[in-house]
Amino acid sequence: MKNIFLASLLLIQVNSFAQFTNADLQASGLTCSMCSKAIYKSLEKVSFVESITSDIKTSTYKIQFKKDVAVNFDDLKKAVTDAGFSVAVLKVNTLFNNVKIENDSHIQIAGNTLHFMNVKQQTLNGYKMITIVDKNFIPTKDFKKYEKLTTLKCYQTGKMDNCCSKAAITKSERIYHSTI
């Protein structure tokens, strides 16, 4: 009986996962098609980016990620800032399989730690679009709005330092704040 219980726990762990598949990124500060091209060229150099489709009129980029490759949202932001612009919105399409989330909680998703904000307790399955709401990923006024929704200090720093005590997350680990 004990072995069956342990096997079922192991099975639950194997079946619970999430994967980032693609993203919609909107940049700000663009004034012409040359600006759009500069961001496009910079995003092309990001190692986990498979392909990019841009829309000059809306300053948006649909980014397809390589399968089974780690995604780092800071690398996307850096590509945009290296081109001389800033990120206005980053929405990431994520494939969930039995992932439980709740407000103001930290979870590991595809090698990243996410802090879900302004969400109800739920189990996610299928494709869901999450929005990264960290500083420099959204406009300042929106950042201040989300800041009022948490008492955890990691929202200010993007790091686990002085946030809470969770053994699975190191103090210097990067935390991305997100909502659905």
Q: 153-176: per-residue pLDDT in tens?
A: 889 888 877 566 554 555 568 999
Give the up-direction half-sphere exposure of residue 111: CA atoms within 13 A in the CB hemisphere.
8
Distance of CA 58 to the CA centre of its chain: 21
In words, the CATH class of domain 19-179 is alpha beta
Distance of CA 25 to the CA centre of its chain: 11
Please give the Cα distance from 22 to 50 (Å, whole number).
Answer: 9
Q: Write down the pLDDT at residue 156.
A: 86
**Residue extents of the structural domains in the chain:** 19-179
Whether 10 has a pLDDT exceeding 50, the answer reads no
Highest mean predicted confidence (pLDDT) among 12-16, 159-163, 176-180? 176-180
Alpha helical stretches, state H, the chain: 2-15, 33-44, 73-82, 140-147, 154-157
Q: Which run of H or of E encompasses 116? A: strand 112-116
Please give the Cα distance from 137 to 128 (Å, whole number).
Answer: 19
Q: Write down the pLDDT at residue 153.
A: 85
Question: Which of the four pLDDT bands, split at 50, 70 and 90, describes residue 11?
Answer: very low
**pTM across the whole model:** 0.85
Q: Write down the pLDDT at residue 159.
A: 86
> What percent of the chain lies above the pLDDT cut of 90?
66
